[in-house]
Amino acid sequence: MNRCIIHIDADCFFAAVEMRDRPHLAHRPLAIGGSASKRGVISTCNYPARKFGVRSAMATAFALRLCPGLMLLPHRMLLYRQVSEQMMAIFHDFTDLVEPLSLDEAFLDVSACCASLQDATAVAEQIRARVNRELGITVSAGIAANKFLAKVASDWHKPDGLFVVAREAESKFLAELPVRCIPGVGKVTSDQLQFMGVIKCEDLHRYSQCELESRFGRFGARLFAFSRGKDDRAVKVSRERKSISVEQTYSRDILTLTECESALPELWQRLSVRLAKAPAIAQIKKGFVKIKFSDFSQTTLERGGDQWSVEDFRGLLALAYARGNGQVRLMGLGVRLAPAAPQVEQIALL
Protein backbone atom coordinates (compact mmCIF):
# COMPACT_ATOMS: atom_id res chain seq x y z
CA MET A 1 0.00 0.00 0.00
CA ASN A 2 1.16 3.52 -0.79
CA ARG A 3 0.85 4.75 2.79
CA CYS A 4 1.88 8.16 4.09
CA ILE A 5 2.32 8.05 7.86
CA ILE A 6 3.20 10.92 10.19
CA HIS A 7 4.32 10.38 13.76
CA ILE A 8 4.12 13.49 15.93
CA ASP A 9 5.72 13.68 19.35
CA ALA A 10 5.53 16.71 21.64
CA ASP A 11 8.93 17.83 22.94
CA CYS A 12 9.25 17.22 26.74
CA PHE A 13 5.47 17.68 26.92
CA PHE A 14 4.78 18.25 30.64
CA ALA A 15 7.83 20.48 31.01
CA ALA A 16 6.94 22.34 27.79
CA VAL A 17 3.50 23.23 29.15
CA GLU A 18 5.04 24.47 32.39
CA MET A 19 7.63 26.58 30.51
CA ARG A 20 4.88 28.01 28.32
CA ASP A 21 2.98 29.17 31.40
CA ARG A 22 6.14 30.27 33.25
CA PRO A 23 8.55 31.65 30.61
CA HIS A 24 11.16 32.56 33.24
CA LEU A 25 11.79 28.80 33.69
CA ALA A 26 12.53 28.16 30.01
CA HIS A 27 16.34 28.15 30.35
CA ARG A 28 16.53 26.55 33.80
CA PRO A 29 16.94 22.80 34.32
CA LEU A 30 13.34 21.74 34.99
CA ALA A 31 11.68 18.42 35.77
CA ILE A 32 8.16 17.21 36.56
CA GLY A 33 7.93 14.43 39.09
CA GLY A 34 7.44 13.19 42.63
CA SER A 35 9.25 14.35 45.72
CA ALA A 36 12.65 12.83 46.51
CA SER A 37 11.56 12.40 50.15
CA LYS A 38 8.76 10.11 48.99
CA ARG A 39 10.88 8.07 46.58
CA GLY A 40 9.49 10.05 43.66
CA VAL A 41 10.35 9.51 40.01
CA ILE A 42 10.93 11.99 37.18
CA SER A 43 8.21 11.75 34.55
CA THR A 44 9.75 14.26 32.15
CA CYS A 45 12.34 17.03 32.06
CA ASN A 46 13.38 19.84 29.73
CA TYR A 47 16.48 19.84 27.56
CA PRO A 48 18.67 21.97 29.89
CA ALA A 49 18.11 19.27 32.55
CA ARG A 50 18.98 16.51 30.08
CA LYS A 51 22.42 18.05 29.62
CA PHE A 52 23.12 17.01 33.22
CA GLY A 53 22.01 13.43 32.52
CA VAL A 54 18.51 13.75 33.98
CA ARG A 55 16.04 11.41 32.27
CA SER A 56 12.43 10.30 32.61
CA ALA A 57 11.78 7.32 34.94
CA MET A 58 14.87 8.29 36.95
CA ALA A 59 14.59 8.47 40.73
CA THR A 60 14.12 12.10 41.77
CA ALA A 61 16.81 11.80 44.44
CA PHE A 62 19.35 10.65 41.84
CA ALA A 63 18.30 13.40 39.42
CA LEU A 64 18.91 16.02 42.13
CA ARG A 65 22.39 14.62 42.71
CA LEU A 66 23.16 14.90 39.00
CA CYS A 67 21.72 18.42 38.84
CA PRO A 68 21.61 20.14 42.26
CA GLY A 69 19.96 23.22 40.72
CA LEU A 70 17.10 21.20 39.22
CA MET A 71 13.71 22.93 39.52
CA LEU A 72 11.21 20.20 40.47
CA LEU A 73 7.51 20.81 39.85
CA PRO A 74 4.51 18.60 40.71
CA HIS A 75 2.20 17.24 38.02
CA ARG A 76 -0.77 19.25 36.79
CA MET A 77 -2.45 16.37 34.98
CA LEU A 78 -5.75 18.16 34.39
CA LEU A 79 -3.92 20.87 32.46
CA TYR A 80 -1.77 18.38 30.52
CA ARG A 81 -4.88 16.44 29.48
CA GLN A 82 -6.53 19.64 28.32
CA VAL A 83 -3.53 20.62 26.16
CA SER A 84 -3.36 17.05 24.81
CA GLU A 85 -7.02 17.18 23.76
CA GLN A 86 -6.39 20.49 21.98
CA MET A 87 -3.41 18.99 20.18
CA MET A 88 -5.37 15.90 19.09
CA ALA A 89 -8.16 18.17 17.82
CA ILE A 90 -5.62 19.88 15.54
CA PHE A 91 -4.56 16.46 14.21
CA HIS A 92 -8.18 15.60 13.44
CA ASP A 93 -8.49 18.74 11.32
CA PHE A 94 -6.14 17.05 8.84
CA THR A 95 -7.23 13.38 9.01
CA ASP A 96 -9.73 11.14 10.78
CA LEU A 97 -7.10 8.40 11.05
CA VAL A 98 -5.38 9.42 14.30
CA GLU A 99 -3.97 6.84 16.72
CA PRO A 100 -2.94 8.42 20.05
CA LEU A 101 -0.15 6.52 21.81
CA SER A 102 -0.19 8.72 24.93
CA LEU A 103 -1.04 12.28 25.87
CA ASP A 104 1.88 13.65 23.84
CA GLU A 105 2.23 11.53 20.70
CA ALA A 106 0.17 10.03 17.90
CA PHE A 107 0.31 8.39 14.49
CA LEU A 108 -1.57 10.03 11.61
CA ASP A 109 -2.41 8.29 8.35
CA VAL A 110 -2.67 11.00 5.69
CA SER A 111 -2.65 8.65 2.69
CA ALA A 112 -6.13 9.74 1.60
CA CYS A 113 -5.13 13.37 1.20
CA CYS A 114 -1.45 12.97 0.27
CA ALA A 115 -0.23 11.41 -2.94
CA SER A 116 3.39 11.33 -1.78
CA LEU A 117 5.61 11.69 1.27
CA GLN A 118 6.41 15.17 0.00
CA ASP A 119 2.73 16.09 0.37
CA ALA A 120 2.70 14.47 3.83
CA THR A 121 5.71 16.58 4.81
CA ALA A 122 3.81 19.74 3.93
CA VAL A 123 0.91 18.56 6.13
CA ALA A 124 3.30 17.83 9.00
CA GLU A 125 4.75 21.33 8.73
CA GLN A 126 1.25 22.84 8.87
CA ILE A 127 0.44 20.80 11.96
CA ARG A 128 3.67 21.78 13.69
CA ALA A 129 3.04 25.45 12.96
CA ARG A 130 -0.53 25.30 14.29
CA VAL A 131 0.46 23.51 17.49
CA ASN A 132 3.17 26.07 18.13
CA ARG A 133 0.93 29.04 17.32
CA GLU A 134 -2.21 27.87 19.14
CA LEU A 135 -0.80 25.90 22.07
CA GLY A 136 2.60 27.52 22.59
CA ILE A 137 4.60 24.26 22.54
CA THR A 138 6.73 22.52 19.93
CA VAL A 139 6.36 19.07 18.40
CA SER A 140 8.69 16.94 16.30
CA ALA A 141 7.46 14.97 13.30
CA GLY A 142 8.60 11.92 11.39
CA ILE A 143 7.25 11.08 7.94
CA ALA A 144 7.60 7.68 6.28
CA ALA A 145 5.77 4.89 4.51
CA ASN A 146 5.05 2.95 7.72
CA LYS A 147 4.63 3.41 11.46
CA PHE A 148 8.01 2.03 12.50
CA LEU A 149 10.04 4.32 10.25
CA ALA A 150 7.86 7.34 11.05
CA LYS A 151 8.33 6.87 14.80
CA VAL A 152 12.09 6.53 14.45
CA ALA A 153 12.17 9.59 12.18
CA SER A 154 10.31 11.81 14.66
CA ASP A 155 13.14 11.35 17.15
CA TRP A 156 15.86 12.12 14.61
CA HIS A 157 15.97 15.92 14.84
CA LYS A 158 14.44 16.55 18.27
CA PRO A 159 13.51 19.00 19.64
CA ASP A 160 11.28 20.98 17.26
CA GLY A 161 12.44 18.90 14.31
CA LEU A 162 11.17 17.16 11.21
CA PHE A 163 12.67 14.22 9.35
CA VAL A 164 11.50 12.30 6.29
CA VAL A 165 12.51 8.75 5.39
CA ALA A 166 11.95 8.75 1.64
CA ARG A 167 11.02 5.42 0.08
CA GLU A 168 14.11 5.38 -2.10
CA ALA A 169 16.31 6.13 0.94
CA GLU A 170 14.92 3.46 3.28
CA SER A 171 17.67 0.90 2.65
CA LYS A 172 20.47 3.40 3.24
CA PHE A 173 18.74 4.79 6.34
CA LEU A 174 18.24 1.33 7.85
CA ALA A 175 21.77 0.20 7.07
CA GLU A 176 23.17 2.65 9.64
CA LEU A 177 20.25 2.63 12.08
CA PRO A 178 21.30 1.28 15.52
CA VAL A 179 19.20 -1.69 16.60
CA ARG A 180 18.52 0.05 19.91
CA CYS A 181 16.19 2.36 17.93
CA ILE A 182 13.83 -0.54 17.26
CA PRO A 183 10.85 -0.24 19.66
CA GLY A 184 11.07 -2.96 22.29
CA VAL A 185 14.86 -3.26 22.23
CA GLY A 186 15.86 -2.43 25.79
CA LYS A 187 19.17 -2.87 27.57
CA VAL A 188 18.88 -6.66 27.98
CA THR A 189 17.98 -7.29 24.34
CA SER A 190 20.57 -4.77 23.17
CA ASP A 191 23.27 -6.60 25.16
CA GLN A 192 22.18 -9.93 23.66
CA LEU A 193 22.30 -8.50 20.15
CA GLN A 194 25.70 -6.96 20.76
CA PHE A 195 26.98 -10.35 21.91
CA MET A 196 25.77 -11.70 18.54
CA GLY A 197 27.72 -8.96 16.76
CA VAL A 198 24.59 -6.96 15.93
CA ILE A 199 24.97 -3.19 16.31
CA LYS A 200 23.11 -1.82 13.29
CA CYS A 201 19.96 -3.01 11.57
CA GLU A 202 21.91 -4.32 8.59
CA ASP A 203 23.79 -6.64 10.95
CA LEU A 204 20.49 -8.44 11.61
CA HIS A 205 20.32 -9.41 7.95
CA ARG A 206 22.84 -12.18 8.66
CA TYR A 207 20.15 -14.01 10.63
CA SER A 208 17.02 -15.69 9.31
CA GLN A 209 13.63 -15.09 10.89
CA CYS A 210 13.70 -18.63 12.26
CA GLU A 211 17.07 -18.01 13.97
CA LEU A 212 15.89 -14.75 15.52
CA GLU A 213 12.65 -16.33 16.74
CA SER A 214 14.59 -19.17 18.35
CA ARG A 215 16.61 -16.60 20.33
CA PHE A 216 13.99 -13.93 21.03
CA GLY A 217 10.65 -15.69 20.63
CA ARG A 218 7.89 -13.75 18.86
CA PHE A 219 9.93 -10.56 19.16
CA GLY A 220 12.43 -12.14 16.74
CA ALA A 221 9.87 -11.80 13.93
CA ARG A 222 9.60 -8.07 14.65
CA LEU A 223 13.39 -7.68 14.64
CA PHE A 224 13.53 -9.46 11.30
CA ALA A 225 10.83 -7.29 9.72
CA PHE A 226 11.74 -3.90 11.19
CA SER A 227 15.43 -4.25 10.35
CA ARG A 228 14.29 -4.52 6.71
CA GLY A 229 11.90 -1.58 6.99
CA LYS A 230 8.78 -3.78 6.83
CA ASP A 231 5.79 -2.81 8.95
CA ASP A 232 2.24 -3.39 7.68
CA ARG A 233 0.45 -2.21 10.85
CA ALA A 234 -2.41 0.13 10.09
CA VAL A 235 -3.12 3.30 12.06
CA LYS A 236 -5.85 2.26 14.51
CA VAL A 237 -8.35 4.96 15.37
CA SER A 238 -9.28 3.28 18.64
CA ARG A 239 -7.93 0.39 20.64
CA GLU A 240 -8.91 -1.05 23.99
CA ARG A 241 -6.21 -1.22 26.62
CA LYS A 242 -6.52 -4.14 29.01
CA SER A 243 -3.94 -3.24 31.65
CA ILE A 244 -1.48 -0.60 32.84
CA SER A 245 1.68 -1.68 34.63
CA VAL A 246 5.30 -0.92 35.50
CA GLU A 247 8.16 -3.22 36.41
CA GLN A 248 11.80 -3.02 37.42
CA THR A 249 14.67 -5.49 36.97
CA TYR A 250 17.24 -5.03 39.73
CA SER A 251 21.02 -5.12 39.24
CA ARG A 252 21.31 -7.34 42.33
CA ASP A 253 18.75 -9.75 43.72
CA ILE A 254 16.51 -8.48 46.51
CA LEU A 255 16.87 -10.93 49.38
CA THR A 256 14.15 -10.01 51.87
CA LEU A 257 10.50 -9.02 51.93
CA THR A 258 11.48 -5.81 53.77
CA GLU A 259 13.71 -4.80 50.85
CA CYS A 260 10.88 -5.54 48.43
CA GLU A 261 8.55 -3.35 50.47
CA SER A 262 11.14 -0.54 50.40
CA ALA A 263 11.13 -0.66 46.59
CA LEU A 264 7.34 -0.54 46.45
CA PRO A 265 6.81 3.28 46.72
CA GLU A 266 8.98 3.99 43.69
CA LEU A 267 7.06 1.48 41.57
CA TRP A 268 3.78 2.94 42.82
CA GLN A 269 4.91 6.45 41.89
CA ARG A 270 5.72 5.34 38.34
CA LEU A 271 2.41 3.48 38.06
CA SER A 272 0.57 6.59 39.29
CA VAL A 273 2.12 8.63 36.47
CA ARG A 274 0.93 6.09 33.89
CA LEU A 275 -2.53 5.91 35.40
CA ALA A 276 -2.76 9.69 35.20
CA LYS A 277 -2.14 9.47 31.45
CA ALA A 278 -4.89 6.87 30.92
CA PRO A 279 -8.14 7.93 29.23
CA ALA A 280 -10.75 9.27 31.61
CA ILE A 281 -13.13 6.41 30.73
CA ALA A 282 -10.64 3.72 31.84
CA GLN A 283 -12.10 1.84 34.82
CA ILE A 284 -9.89 -0.25 37.11
CA LYS A 285 -11.27 -3.68 38.02
CA LYS A 286 -8.22 -5.42 39.57
CA GLY A 287 -4.75 -4.76 40.90
CA PHE A 288 -1.81 -7.15 40.57
CA VAL A 289 1.78 -7.74 41.67
CA LYS A 290 4.31 -9.58 39.54
CA ILE A 291 7.55 -11.08 40.87
CA LYS A 292 10.32 -12.85 38.96
CA PHE A 293 12.74 -14.78 41.17
CA SER A 294 16.45 -15.47 40.71
CA ASP A 295 15.73 -18.90 39.18
CA PHE A 296 13.56 -17.08 36.55
CA SER A 297 10.35 -18.56 37.90
CA GLN A 298 7.68 -15.91 38.22
CA THR A 299 4.30 -15.40 39.82
CA THR A 300 1.49 -12.88 39.42
CA LEU A 301 -1.07 -12.32 42.15
CA GLU A 302 -4.16 -10.17 41.59
CA ARG A 303 -7.23 -9.04 43.51
CA GLY A 304 -10.42 -7.25 42.56
CA GLY A 305 -10.97 -3.60 43.41
CA ASP A 306 -11.28 -0.22 41.72
CA GLN A 307 -9.29 1.82 44.28
CA TRP A 308 -5.60 1.10 44.86
CA SER A 309 -2.86 2.57 47.02
CA VAL A 310 0.71 1.58 47.88
CA GLU A 311 -0.60 -0.08 51.06
CA ASP A 312 -3.06 -2.20 49.07
CA PHE A 313 -0.21 -3.47 46.91
CA ARG A 314 1.87 -4.20 50.01
CA GLY A 315 -0.53 -6.96 51.02
CA LEU A 316 -0.40 -8.60 47.59
CA LEU A 317 3.38 -8.30 47.55
CA ALA A 318 3.76 -10.30 50.78
CA LEU A 319 1.59 -13.13 49.43
CA ALA A 320 3.40 -13.21 46.08
CA TYR A 321 6.83 -13.12 47.74
CA ALA A 322 5.95 -16.20 49.81
CA ARG A 323 5.49 -18.23 46.61
CA GLY A 324 9.16 -18.13 45.56
CA ASN A 325 12.70 -18.79 46.69
CA GLY A 326 13.16 -15.44 48.44
CA GLN A 327 15.57 -13.95 45.89
CA VAL A 328 13.82 -11.40 43.68
CA ARG A 329 15.26 -10.09 40.42
CA LEU A 330 12.17 -8.28 39.07
CA MET A 331 9.09 -6.66 40.59
CA GLY A 332 6.07 -5.18 38.88
CA LEU A 333 2.77 -3.50 39.79
CA GLY A 334 -0.28 -3.00 37.63
CA VAL A 335 -4.02 -2.79 37.24
CA ARG A 336 -6.48 -4.61 34.99
CA LEU A 337 -9.01 -2.43 33.20
CA ALA A 338 -12.68 -3.21 32.68
CA PRO A 339 -13.83 -3.55 29.04
CA ALA A 340 -15.23 -0.34 27.63
CA ALA A 341 -19.00 -0.15 27.68
CA PRO A 342 -20.49 -0.77 24.22
CA GLN A 343 -21.84 2.27 22.43
CA VAL A 344 -25.61 1.91 22.04
CA GLU A 345 -27.32 3.91 19.35
CA GLN A 346 -30.96 4.88 19.93
CA ILE A 347 -33.08 3.92 16.96
CA ALA A 348 -35.37 6.70 15.86
CA LEU A 349 -39.08 5.97 16.13
CA LEU A 350 -39.92 7.99 13.04
Binding residues: 9, 104
What is the DSSP code string of 225-283?
Answer: HHTTT---PPPPS-----EEEEEEEEEEEE-SHHHHHHHHHHHHHHHHHHHHHS-TT--
Residues with catalytic roles: 105
Alpha-carbon span 321 to 245, nearest angstrom: 18
Residue of 101, 79, 74 whose CA lies nearest to 88: 101
Helices (H), the chain: 13-21, 47-50, 60-66, 77-92, 117-135, 147-154, 170-175, 187-195, 209-216, 219-226, 257-277, 310-321
* Binding-site residues from annotation for Mg(2+): 9, 104
Residue 238: CB atoms within 10 A of its CB come to 8
Residue type, 199: I
